[in-house]
Structure 1
Amino acid sequence: MATTGASARRGRAKIMAPRKHGPEFSAEKTWSELARNIREIQDQNASNLSFEENHRFAYNMVLNKHGEMLYNGLKRLVAEDLETLATRNIVPHFPSGTTDPSVQSGEDDLLLTSLKAVWTRHINNMVRLGQILKYMDRVYTQTAKVPATNDLGLQLFLKHIIRPPIKENVMAAILNQIRHERNGYVIDRSTMKGCVDVYLSLEGDTHGATIYKLDLEPAVLKESETFYKREGEELLNSSTAPIFLQSSNGSKQKKTEYTITCQAIPNHICCKSYRITCYPHIFELLYLKKIRVWMPC
């Protein structure tokens, strides 16, 4: 009996692993194909690409535990594209430093137009990439606790575009355009608003404060305070009381228009600064001339 059992054990067939059908998965080859297609998307040549194929590339990489390779590769490609756009489309349009108001306004408008175009292109690219990387965002980014595709795009735009010296030149251009319009020149308000929207879309700290709130708004308020203080002093020194009040009302209407253009500029702060600067002096003037007027609170 023992001999028979031993013979049976020796003669038992070994179970072999099933043969795999189809080619072996290669993370390097898959990423190479996907990276080439991502570059095509960034170059606005996505019309001939297959959404299903690219989605499958990304899906297989995450499924085969290569999510980190996919994510880091995407991050590198987006950063490279933004650096190229900054060097090719924005930096060459920095203002020349001219003091001619009309030439300066044109140069500032060209810079702001370039920034707006780069932003629009980048956002459109990230939307397309997010569509083919949905599985990565749903599985890998949550597990690895890293920003999803769209949030990654915003962070990289802030790092590679809204940086020195681009950041300073863009802010100077926005302030110059406000100054030019106050001085009677015509500017492209839609371009201005588009660039302000960029600053409103980017978060600059861990508390959720936007770049607009941290950097642009304080500069605009400071510029506005300086302008209206100077304007008020000039009016007081050169105008009669009725003309001063008429000009004051016109200035407040201008500030309301700038509030609409820049969206987040607190109009009441500008008006308050203007009244504090000018009204104490005009009160004395009106009292001496015994003129009764209604003053806004």
Structure 2
Amino acid sequence: MAAGGKTKFVIPPFRQSQAMDEEYANRTWQTLHSAIHEIHRQNASGLSFEELYRNAYNMVLHKFGDKLYNGLVETITLHLRGVAQEVAVAADGDFLPQLKEKWEKHRLSSIMIRDILMYMDRTYVVAQKKVAVFERGLQIFRDEVCRNDRIKGRLLATVLDLIHRERCSETIERGVIKTVTSMLVELGQDVYQRDFEVPFLEATADFYRKESHECLAQNSASEYMRKAEARLGEEHERVTHYLDKASEGRLNEVVERQLIAEHMRTLAEMEHSGVVPMLEDDRIPDLKRAYELFGRVTSPDGLGVIRELMSGHVKGRGQQLVAEEPGAARDPVEFVKGLLALRDKYQSIIQGAFSGDKTFFNALNSTFEYFINLNQRSPEYISLFVDEQMRKGMRGTSEDEVEAMLDKVVMLFRYLQEKDVFEKYYKQHLAKRLLGGRSISDDVERSMIQKLKQECGYQFTSKLEGMFMDMKVSADTQDKFRAANGSSKVESIDLSVQVLTTGFWPTQVSGGCNLPAPVARCCEVFREHYLKQHSGRRLQWQTSMGNADLKAQFGASRHEINVSTYMMCVLLLFNDNDRLSYADIARDTAIAPAELKRTLQSLACGKFKLLLKEPKGREVDESDAFSFNASFSSKQLRFKVGTVSAQRETEAEKHETRQKVDEDRKPQIEAAIVRIMKSRKEMEHNALIADVTAQLTARFMPHPNVIKKRIESLIEREFLERDKNNWRMYKYLA
């Protein structure tokens, strides 16, 4: 009885009526031997498995385990030698089916024998560290049958021949190969690999090595890759049907190496059908196939080959696009449209064919950054494109389309190394749009500024936002002037003034002009009103940024004309004069020569010829004379006279803009140097150059020589000093 009143049951071993001696053990073994023999003959139906189990149990219990185990090994060995003889002499057509049948019978027999000798497996085999009965039977089959000198080579050759025939489009019996490979796996993974997989992979490599060279000579790149893709699919199916799953990785590696890795460069660069023709013709399915096949190869980098060719091709297209033809007038809008179309094309290809691979997008971005910055006028052209879109290019488009266009422009802006140059031009163009009331929408303008702020920070867009604030304040100021004056008209002239903060708006270098007396009186009335409201401020009229609406009569026709302030000054002179020389106009208006010539060219040589020039011609000379064109006519009652080349800089203006940019950069470079040196205290020359460049890259790419000059300037002003023992080492002076 156990604790708690529960009974503990113990199963005792079989009781022996008598001790087992050698002679009895021999008789018992003979009984078991006969039973094993019957099992091998597939004649086990008449056997008593309980009695046989008891006999084996008794032999092990009475210390005759050695006799039983060794006898079993000998019996199985003798049996399988006979089996090997039968298989070896089988005809070619019967060889594999015969082996398959013998294996299946042996496996079934081994399971029965294991059941009979289960007690020996659990005790004697464990104690003596022997191989279990079933596994020992497999080992003997491996040694006596599979590795028999007359069977081993024939088995491998037969299986490889069947696989070869299947690769050559013949139909074979897959089931028998499946049995053989499963048999080899069960006999041991090392058996499968050494006796079958290694030579199988060698034969596979030979087959595809020959086929790839033949196929390469006869097919285009697209056709070759289609066949390679089909072959890889066949090998996967082969693994699924009759190979061990563990073979798939090694098999794929062999096939990929022979079909793809060895020929990647040849395929990718194939004339008329390689990667570049695929890119040019937008052959998305072929590019997708190339991406998937080359992506299988990691050493060398298969996708790197496609990226390299794509980058080279895009770089070539981009260089053609940005190259300046000597003497040719480049249309900025068409230039940027070409860039956007080029990027849209390859962005679409990367999304559709290369699964949106980030490494391909990085390569595309790097390539665009390279060739866009080859053209020094790219910042100006991109700003002019935005100007065109903001004026009329996006009129009538949906909000989503507007946002998409702005995002594309910002992408191009992101590639610019001289973002501060873009800022200069953008500020000028935005000023003209705001002052002329030519922008399609303030919301769109603010959206663009917000996107630029996300790219470069608040400092980059603070002045642009200040320009919008000035426009709002100017509207309030105009309302107050109208209320104080009783009307916005002064001496029948309707005056509208925008008061601009000097620091926000682009600096105007124009010397102004002599305004007509009525206009000058209007301006003085506004000045007095404004200074009463804001004492201590100074107003400076920027006539180059203004415009006027004039009512004009040409013969019997009347028109309302929108012109610049300079044009207004010139045209009003002809109220009292029918003919004036260039010198007369220059004296009376005091307009700068370059601006005056442009103004007169717009009035006399442009679309609307309000003045007549003597002598005739496209260019204005200081010896020319001008007269009022009384015979002028136009179908439009109201029209605008644009300034010739108003959106294009002259060479002098380009030089001036570049000088302004260079001057603005100097304090930024010095500020970066001081920030870095203040935190580091000491730095070597090259390290300082590298850190300054890294800090300023977001706005522009400073040249090392420019940084060096700024360092010298700071040393002269005693912000820094050189180390006395190492002239390339700088120290910060607090």
TM-score for the superposition, normalised by structure 2: 0.34
Q: Secondary structure at the match of 1:161?
A: helix
1:156 aligns with 2:145: no
Equivalent position of 1:259 in the other structure: 239
| Structure 1 alignment gaps of length 5 or more | 1-19, 96-106, 204-208
Cα pair distance change 1:71/1:287, threshold 3 Å: closer
Counterparts of 2:82 and 2:38, CA distance in 1: 14
- After TM superposition, list the pairs within 5 Å mapping 1:90-239 onto structure 2: 90-93=87-90, 95=92, 107=93, 110-163=94-147, 164-203=149-188, 209-239=189-219
Counterparts of 1:241 and 1:45, CA distance in 2: 62
Equivalent position of 1:243 in the other structure: 223
| Structure with bigger gyration radius | 2
Counterparts of 1:72 and 1:24, CA distance in 2: 18
* CA apart distance, 1:213: 1.8
Counterparts of 2:42 and 2:222, CA distance in 1: 59
* CA apart distance, 1:189: 0.8
* CA apart distance, 1:21: 6.3
**Conserved? CA contact 1:232–1:277, under 8 Å:** no
Higher relative contact order structure (alpha carbons within 8 Å, sequence separation ≥ 6): 1
**Conserved? CA contact 1:181–1:187, under 8 Å:** yes
Cα pair distance change 1:288/1:127, threshold 3 Å: closer
**Conserved? CA contact 1:85–1:118, under 8 Å:** yes
Residue deviations 1:8-31, cap 9 Å, x none? xxxxxxxxxxxx967975111111
1:281 aligns with 2:262: no
Cα pair distance change 1:62/1:232, threshold 3 Å: same
The worse-fitting range, judged by mean Cα deviation, of 264-273 and 65-74 is 264-273
TM-score for the superposition, normalised by structure 1: 0.81
Runs of 4+ in structure 1 displaced over 3 angstroms? 20-25, 286-289
**Conserved? CA contact 1:255–1:270, under 8 Å:** no
* CA apart distance, 1:80: 0.9
Q: 1:73 aligns with which of 54, 71, 74?
A: 71
Counterparts of 1:21 and 1:59, CA distance in 2: 14
Equivalent position of 2:278 in the other structure: 291
Counterparts of 1:258 and 1:220, CA distance in 2: 13
Residue deviations 1:120-162, cap 9 Å, x none? 1111101101111111112211222211111111111111112
**Conserved? CA contact 1:229–1:277, under 8 Å:** no
Q: Secondary structure at the match of 2:194?
A: helix
* CA apart distance, 1:278: 2.9
Residue deviations 1:153-191, cap 9 Å, x none? 111111111212311111111111110101121111111
State the percentage of identical aligned residues.
29
Q: Which has the higher strand share?
A: 2
Residue deviations 1:68-126, cap 9 Å, x none? 111111111111111111111x101264xxxxxxxxxxx3xx32222221111111101
* CA apart distance, 1:58: 0.8
Q: Which has the higher helix share?
A: 1
Cα pair distance change 1:30/1:241, threshold 3 Å: same
CA RMSD of aligned residues (A): 2.1
Equivalent position of 1:40 in the other structure: 38
**Conserved? CA contact 1:229–1:278, under 8 Å:** no
Counterparts of 1:176 and 1:125, CA distance in 2: 31
Code of the residue aligned with 2:105 in structure 1: it is R
**Conserved? CA contact 2:125–2:132, under 8 Å:** yes
